[in-house]
Structure 1
C-alpha cells in the first residue's frame, strides 16, 4: 500500500467521526466601520501613493470630465465597449469629437497589433473599489474584455463613489463570492510597474503607464451588468 493510500485509509477509519472545519474569526479583515467619506479619502490616498490619478465628477457630468481627461492626455483613439452603460454614455458624449472610438468586442487575434500599437487609452467601468488598499475591482465581460485595462498606455476607469467597500473581505462577502466566484475578477491598484535588480521602479513596462480614476458622486449611479 502506498503512503498516500495508507494516509487516506487512516482518515476514512477514524473512530471519532469525520473531520470538520474549525470555526474562523474574520474580524481582523473586516469591520473597519468607515464612513463613505473616510473610504474615499483612504482610497484616494493609497491609489495616489502608487501614481494613480483620481478625478472627481458631479452627477451626470462625468462624461465632460472624461472629455477633458482625453484632451489633457492627448488621446486620439479610445478603446471601449458598447453595451455597458458607462461605454454607452461615453460613446454618446464623444460621438461628435475628434476622438476615434475603437470597438473591443472582437476576437483578439483580429486586432492584436492594433491594440498594442495604436490604441491610446482604454475606458472601463468598475464594479467597485477597496478603501483599505486603494484598489479597483473589475469583472471583465465580452463587452469589456480584460485587455482594455491591461494593454493601452492609459487606463481610464469610471468608479461610482457609493460602490466603495472597506476591505477586500467586505467585497467578497457583499458580492456573495462564496456561492458564485467570478471567473475573471481583476484587482487594480495603480498603473503597471516593475523594478530591476537595483530596485529602480519603472511604470508602464508591461501595461498602462497611467491610471486615471473618474469618481462619480451623487446623481443616479451608472448601471451595472448582472
Structure 2
C-alpha cells in the first residue's frame, strides 16, 4: 500500500466519524448593497487611480465615441474579432474611417510579428466589471483571443454599465463559476505595470501601456443631459 493510500485509509476509518466540510461564511466578501450609481463611481475612481481611462457613451451611439477615441489616440491599425456584437458593430461603424481592421482569428504563429510590431490597439468586449477593485473581467474566445488584450500598446475594452457587480465573489456566484468555471478568464485592473525596474512603478513593460474603458449606458451617458 502506498503512503497516499495509507493516509486515505486512516481518514476513512476515523473513530469519530468521517470528516465534513466546515460551514463557510462569505458575508465578508459580498453583500455590499451599493446602488448602480455607487458601483459605477467606485469602479471609475479605482481604475483611473492606476492609469486606466474611462469614457462614457450612450448605447445607441457608442461607436461614434469609439471612432473619436481612436482618432484622438492616432490608432491606424485596430485588432478585433468578427462575431461578437461589439466587434461586429465596431467593424460596421469603422469601415470607412481610414482605420485598418486587423483580423485576429488566425494562428498566432502566422501573424505573431505583425501583432507585436504593427498593431496599434486591440478592441475587446467584456463580461462585466468589479466595483470593489475597479477591475474588468473578460472571457476570451477564439473570436476574441486573449492576446488582443495583452499585446497591443492600447487595449480598448467595452463595458456595459449594468454589467458591473459589487465584488468578485458576486461575479463567481451570479455566473455559476462553481458549476462551469471559465478556463481562461482575465481580470484587468489597469494597463500593464511592473515595479521590477529599480523598484520604480513603470507602465506598459509587459503589455498595453494604455487601458481605455468605454462604458456604454442604456440611456444618456453621464454629462449628456442638458
> Do these two structures clear the TM 0.5 threshold for a shared fold by scoring above it?
yes
Greater shift, 153-162 or 59-68, is seen at: 59-68
User: Which consecutive unaligned segments of at least 5 residues does structure 2 have?
Assistant: 220-226
1:178 aligned counterpart, secondary structure:
helix
**Residues 1:205 and 2:205 are matched in the alignment:** yes
Distance 2:2 2:144 in 1: 49
User: What does 1:86-165 correspond to in 2, within 5 Å?
Assistant: 86-165=86-165
Name segments (4+ residues, structure 1) moved above 6 Å: none
Report how many residues are paired: 219
Distance 1:160 1:4 in 2: 49
Shift of 1:10: 1.3
User: What does 1:43-122 correspond to in 2, within 5 Å?
Assistant: 43-122=43-122
Cα RMSD (Å) of the superposition?
Answer: 1.2
TM-score by length of 1: 0.94
TM-score by length of 2: 0.94
User: Which consecutive unaligned segments of at least 5 residues does structure 1 have?
Assistant: 220-226
Shift of 1:4: 4.0
1:64-112 Cα deviation digits (max 9, x unpaired): 0100110011000000000000000000000011100000001111100
Distance 1:69 1:197 in 2: 31
* Structure-2 residue corresponding to 1:41: 41
* Structure-1 residue corresponding to 2:222: none
2:215 aligned counterpart, secondary structure:
strand
Distance 1:145 1:5 in 2: 42
* Structure-1 residue corresponding to 2:171: 171
Shift of 1:218: 1.1
1:137 aligned counterpart, secondary structure:
strand
